Structure 1
Amino acid sequence: MEVDIRLAAERLRQEEATRGAAQLVTPGDTVTGDGGFMRGHGTYKDGENLVASVAGFVRRINRLISVQPLKARYNGEIGDVVIGRVIEVQQKRWKVDTCSRLHSLLMLSSVNLPGGEQRRKTQEDELAMRSYLEEGDLISAEVQNIFSDGSLSLHTRSLKYGKLSQGVVVAVPSNLVLRRKNHFHDLPCGATVILGNNGYIWICATVVGEDGGAGTGGYVQNLERVPLPEREVISRLRNCILALAGSWMMLYDTSILYAFEASSKFQARDLLKPEVMAEAADLCVYCVSCPVCVCDALSRPEVCAARLLQARDLLKPEVMAEVADLTRKRLDLEAAE
C-alpha cells in the first residue's frame, strides 16, 4: 500500500482564496465615509463613517450596506430546507441539531406517519416515537415557525422530507448555500444532493423506482451495500463541495456540477506527484477556456490531455483551489454568453 507523505501545504493567501469576491473587511474597518448610506447588519455608525463590527464581505443593496460574516450560526427563515440530527426524544417532540444558536424542535404533530397517513396523533403514537425517529438519525425538514427565543419549529409533513440514510453529510458555512426555489437536486452523475440552508448538505445515490424509499418520508429504506461506482461519485461530490467552500464560492446545483466535471479532467495516481498535478492543472485551464473541451471533455477524452482524477486527490488544498478556480471561470464564461 502506497503512502503519500508531504509537508504541510502553504495556506492560500486571502487574496487568492477570494478572487472575484466582494470587499473583505475586519472589525473596525471603515466601510464607507459617505453619510448617505443606511446602516445594515454587521455595521455601526462612527460619526460620518460606517464601520464594520464583524469580519466578512460587504453587501450593498441600493443605499443599504451590510456586512455578511464569514462564519456565523445559522439564522433560520420560514420555508428554509434544513438537514439536522436528532439528539433527544422528548414528550411529543424531538430535539434536533440544525447548526443554529438553539436546538430546533420537531413536534409529533408535525410529522407524517408511515405511509403518509394524515390523522390526529394518539397516545400510541407518542409511545412509538422512537420507532419513527431516534437519537442519531439524520432528517431533512422545513422550517415551519420561529419562536420568540430564536429556536426553530420544523415539520416533515411532505413525503420528500424525513429520515435520511445511505449517504454522507457535508458541513459548510451556511451563508455559502444559495437560496433557491428548489434545494433537492438529482444530478446527471447519478447522485442526489439536498442543499440545506443551515449549511448541512446531504449526498446520496439517486433512488430509481418506487420501492427504494423516494417519497416515503424515509420509513422505507434500502440498507443494502452501496455499489462502489456510486460511492466514488458520492465521495467525489463531497470533495468538490469542500473545494468550492474552501474558495468561498456559492453552492448550488450548477456550481457543484461544474466542479464535478472540472475534477474529472485530472489524472488518477500520477497526480499524487506535485509536478504532474501542476501540469494537469494547466491543461485543465486550457480545456475550460476551450469551447470544444467544455462540451465534449467527458464524451470525447481525446480532446483533453488530462485524464480522470481520483476523488481522494481533491482533498489536497492546491487541487481543491484549482477545481474551484476552474468552476468560477466556467460560470463566468456562461454568464458572458
Structure 2
Amino acid sequence: MRGIHFQMSHSQQKRLARAQQQLLQSAAKIPSSVCVNVGDAIPVNHEDGILKGHGTIDVNGQVVATLCGVVERVNKLVLVRTLRARYKPEVGDIIVGRVIEVVPKRWKVDIGFNQDAVLMLSAMTLPDGIQRRRTTVDELNMRSVFEENDVICAEVRGLQHDGSLHLQARSDKYGKLENGQLITTSAYLVKRRKQHFHFLEQYGVDMILGCNGYIWVGAHTDLQSTSRQGEEPDVSGQKESQSTISEALNSVDAVAGRKIRENICRLANAIRVLCSLGFSISVESILETLEASITWNVDIKDMLGAEFYVRIAEREAERRSSKSNV
C-alpha cells in the first residue's frame, strides 16, 4: 500500500495481511513463463534467429531478463514489458495535464512524462470554433484560453524531429477542465482502452482517465443548462414575481450543485483508494468502490480511513480467489 498516512489497529493489520496473502496466491496461479524477474531465463524453445529486445540480454546463449515484467513475443523478437514504469506516450493517447508555462505560440504542459509536452496554438480549436490562420491577436490572447495551472485535456500528436512531444486539441471534447478534481497516479494503473471519456449520468459527473495516469473528475459540462429544464416551480396558475422564480431556481441549483460536489469527492476518494492499493483503474472498478462506500454507509471523509481500505482489499481478494477457483 502506497501513499497511505494513517494508523491501523492490530486487527486491521492482520486482516490486511490476510487479504494481501490471498491476492499473492491468486497472482501465483498465472503461468510462470509470462512473468519474469531480473536474472530469470526466458524460454525460447531453442529457436534460431531470436532477436533480443528491450529488457533482455544474451548470457551464455540464453535469453535472460534484465527487468521485472511480462514477456512479450513479436515474431522472432522477445522483449520484457515492465509492469511499473513511467508514462511512455503513444500517438492518439488521451491525456490530462497541467499548463506550466505560456510562451510564444505554444503552451508547455506537465503530463508526467520525462519532458514537458507542447501544445501549439495552431494545433487547437479556438473558442470561436472557426478554422482560420492564427494571427498576432490570437497569440496576444493566449492567456485568455489557457494560463498557468489550468488543467486541460488533449491528445498526443507525436514526437517531432526536434525531440519535443506535441499535443493537439482539435475537438470540442478537448480543452480546459473546470469544476472538478485532478488525481495523479502511476500511468501503469490506467490501461489503454477504446473509451477514456466517461459521463456518469447517475452522478452528473464527467470522468477522464488519462493514459498518463492523470485522472479528472468534474461536473458534467452541460449540467447547468439541463438542470434548469422543467424544474421551474409550480405556480398553480398564480402570478409570481420574477424574483421569486429566480430564488426558487437558485435554490434548486444550490441543492443539485452540492450533491454533485459530493459525488465528485466520493468518486475522487474511490480512485485514491484503488491507487493506494495498487489496483488497476477502470470505470468499472471505480464505480464498484463508490457503490460499496454507499452500501456500507461510509462517509466521504471516512473513505480514506483504515477500515475502508481493508474492506476494499478483502473484497478484491475474495473476488479474485473465487474467480481463480472457477
| Higher normalized contact order (CA 8 Å, seq sep 6+, divided by chain length) | 2
Paired amino acid for 2:218: C
Relative to structure 1, the CA distance from residue 89 to residue 118 in structure 2 (aligned partners, 3 Å threshold; closer, same or farther) is: same
Q: Tell me how far apart the structure 2 counterparts of residues 51 and 316 of structure 1 sit (CA, whole Å).
A: 43
Would the alpha carbon gap of residues 49 and 249 (structure 1) be closer, same or farther in structure 2, given more than 3 Å must change? Answer: farther
Cα distance in 2 for residues equivalent to 1:318 and 1:34: 48
Aligned to 1:231: 261
| Aligned equivalent of 1:326 | 315
What is residue 218 of structure 1 aligned with on the other side? none
Say which of 70, 73, 78 aligns to 1:58.
Answer: 70
Structure of higher CA gyration radius: 2
Post-superposition CA distance 1:279-307 (Å, at most 9, x none): xxxxxxxxxxxxxxxxxxxxxxxxxxxxx
Decide which of 233, 236, 245 is 2:275's aligned counterpart: 245
TM-superposition CA deviations, 1:187-235 (whole Å, max 9, x none): 23332110000000000122335858xxxxxxxxxxx988332222222
Equivalent of 1:43 in 32, 49, 56 = 56
Deviation at 1:246, TM superposition (A): 3.1
Distance of 2:317 and 2:197 partners within structure 1: 22
Conserved in 2, the CA contact under 8 Å of 1:176 and 1:251?
yes
Shift of 1:43: 2.8
Q: What does residue 296 of structure 1 align with? A: none
1:87 counterpart residue number? 100
Specify the alignment match of 2:214 in structure 1. Answer: 200
Q: Distance in 2 between matches of 1:208 and 1:328?
A: 39
Distance 1:129 1:208, change over 3 A: closer
Unpaired segments ≥5 residues, structure 2: 1-5, 227-252
Tell me, yes or no, if structure 1 residue 27 matches structure 2 residue 38.
yes
Among 299, 302, 308, which residue is 1:310 paired with? 299
* Cα deviation, residue 149, structure 1: 6.0
SS at match of 1:125: helix
Aligned to 2:286: 256
Counterparts of 1:115-130 in structure 2, within 5 Å, are: 115-130=128-143
Cα distance in structure 1, aligned partners of 2:80 and 2:118: 30
Superposed CA deviations along residues 216-257 of structure 1, whole A, max 9, x for unmatched, are xxxxxxxx9883322222222122222222343322222222
- TM-superposed CA distance for 1:314, in Å, is 2.5
- Cα distance per residue 1:53-86 (max 9 Å; x no partner): 234x324457765443343221101100000111
Q: CA RMSD in A?
A: 3.6
Shift in CA distance, 208/264, structure 1 to aligned 2, threshold 3 Å: same
Instruction: Give the percent of matched residue pairs that are identical in Structure 1 and Structure 2.
Output: 39
Q: Mark the CA change 1:35 to 1:150 in structure 2 (over 3 Å): closer, same or farther.
A: farther
Q: Deviations over 1:72-105 (max 9, x none)?
A: 2211011000001111111111111110111100
Secondary structure at the residue paired with 1:134? coil
Query: How far apart are residue 35 of structure 1 and its match?
Result: 4.7
Equivalent position to 1:179, from 183, 192, 207: 192
- SS of residue in 2 equivalent to 1:136: coil
TM-score, length basis structure 2: 0.72
**Match 1:155 to one of 159, 163, 168:** 168
Asked if 2 retains the 8 angstrom alpha-carbon contact of 1:78 and 1:145, the reply is yes
Is the aligned partner of 1:190 residue 2:204? yes
SS at match of 2:149: coil
Return 64-73 or 96-105, whichever deviates more. 64-73
Query: What displacement does 1:265 show?
Result: 2.6
